[in-house]
Amino acid sequence: MAGTLPSIEPLEHAIQGLVASGKLRVPPYPAVAVRVQEALGRKDAGLAEISRLVGADAVLTAAILRCANSALYRRGAPVNELLPAITRIGAAEVTRLLVASGLSGVAQAVGSLVSVRRLIWIEGLVSAVVCQELARLRRLRTEEAFVLGLLHDFGKVVASSALEALLEEGRYEGRWPLEAWASVVEAEHVPVGLATAAAWRLPPLVAEVIALHHGAPGTCRDPGLLELVRAADQVVALVLTRTRVSGADLARIAGLSAEERAAVERVIEGVPEFVSAFETPAAAAFVGSPRVVAPESTFREPGRSARLGVSISVARRPRLFQVLAVGEEGLTMTGEEPLPEDRLLEAKIYAREPFTAWVLIRLCRRAGAGYQVEVQPFALSVAQREAWEKLVAGG
């Protein structure tokens, strides 16, 4: 089938042309984050003013409340009001969370390549959290580390949106697997990222990290932060390919101390709730695209036959599925309703000993009157990993 696909190079060249001509569409930088940053620059600014600025936007307010109650920030009883949430998180850290929340709508907007953008967005949030934690341990600037982790690959999101716009113009015909779309985004994300940083007038350090994080020659004014981003990229690759990232996995990353490996391992367990805090209503949509060739399966091995139930909630409403097969990589299931691809969702798995786990929806395709879905366990805790291994082994 791959041999019959048209070349995707014209779209890649079109992206290059948009960058070269200065016609690339760049989303606006989150305005509330800018206003909060400006307020923090004044000596008379207090948390009440920060709360007022954030509270003017209901979506941002909800995101900050969810973050404050997530595993990464939870301390004591849940908070239900904005001012206590900002007090818990800290005004400076709220600013960078506002950047993440403000850009989440761009990353999750419904479109033909939303699956590509959703996964990029998850990668960016994981990178931001890991960079922040490593910066804390290395006594580097945590605020900048978080933003660098979040934005160094954001050019991939902008490139995906540009591809969607080109398709809407109707000048390009064809359909390709997601891997082909992702390869174009990967090839062009550095120049697109640099154009985005310039449009947003970000500090020179951001552009340097965007340009150099894949190992290109050049100098960076803060090599320590650049090294954090490079290490975080390796951590992200592990998170996306393993049901649980252990200290042994992290030991393969050069330069991480034992203390850092232990800290990163703990932080990763809180990532799913953190990612979920930035989900938008659009993220609940199942988007099938005629421009994307769906694979038969995302798993290398089919797994063993199994019969058990799984409940997965989308927008607080449970959807029920019947498991057909269990493998080391994940579950193959069927159900009457679809699930949004490349979205993190919490699942209740009704094994002999039921347990809950976060799963990444890797595939959702029509099958008869319903849907066939493949899900991959994501960032499991030690206890969840033990329950998962029992299930895979036939328990």
Are 213 and 345 part of one and the same domain?
Answer: no
Rounded Cα gap, residues 229 and 220, in angstroms: 12
Percent of the chain with pLDDT over 90: 72
The token pair at 231 is 């290490």
- Cα separation values, 270 from 69, 154, 188, 306, 380, Å: 11, 22, 31, 29, 10
Are 302 and 266 part of one and the same domain?
Answer: no
Rounded Cα gap, residues 124 and 233, in angstroms: 9
Helix axes 91-108, 155-168, angle to 10 degrees: 30
pLDDT of residue 212: 98
The pLDDT tens digits of the residues spanning 234-260 come to 999 999 999 999 999 999 999 999 999
Are 303 and 213 part of one and the same domain?
Answer: no
The pLDDT tens digits of the residues spanning 38-82 come to 888 887 778 888 899 999 988 889 999 999 999 888 887 888 999
pLDDT of residue 395: 59
Are 192 and 47 part of one and the same domain?
Answer: yes
The pLDDT tens digits of the residues spanning 167-180 come to 988 888 888 998 89
Report if residue 48 sits inside a domain: yes
What's the whole-model pTM score? 0.92
Report if residue 204 sits inside a domain: yes
Rounded Cα gap, residues 20 and 281, in angstroms: 34
Of the three residues 282, 310, 328, the one that is the final residue of a domain is 282
Of the three residues 230, 252, 282, the one that is the final residue of a domain is 282
Mean predicted confidence (pLDDT) in 14-22: 97
The pLDDT tens digits of the residues spanning 307-346 come to 999 999 988 889 999 999 999 999 999 999 999 999 999 9
Question: Which of the residue ranges 53-57, 75-79, 129-133, 302-306 has the most confident prediction, judged by mean pLDDT?
Answer: 129-133
pLDDT band at 354 (very low <50, low <70, confident <90, very high): very high
Are 378 and 261 part of one and the same domain?
Answer: no
Of the three residues 282, 313, 336, the one that is the final residue of a domain is 282
Neighbours of 296 (CB within 10 A): 8
Are 151 and 246 part of one and the same domain?
Answer: yes
Are 340 and 252 part of one and the same domain?
Answer: no
Contact 112, 292 (CB under 8 A): yes
Number of structural domains (the chain) is 2
Strand partners, 311: 320, 348
Are 269 and 339 part of one and the same domain?
Answer: no
pLDDT of residue 1: 43
Which residue spans within the chain are E strands per DSSP?
176-177, 292-293, 304-305, 309-314, 317-326, 331-335, 344-349, 355-367, 370-377
The pLDDT tens digits of the residues spanning 98-117 come to 999 999 989 988 888 888 89
Domain range for 334 is 294-393
pLDDT of residue 2: 45
More confident residue, 309 or 3: 309
Are 124 and 195 part of one and the same domain?
Answer: yes
pLDDT of residue 12: 95
Are 108 and 146 part of one and the same domain?
Answer: yes
Are 142 and 257 part of one and the same domain?
Answer: yes
Are 215 and 253 part of one and the same domain?
Answer: yes
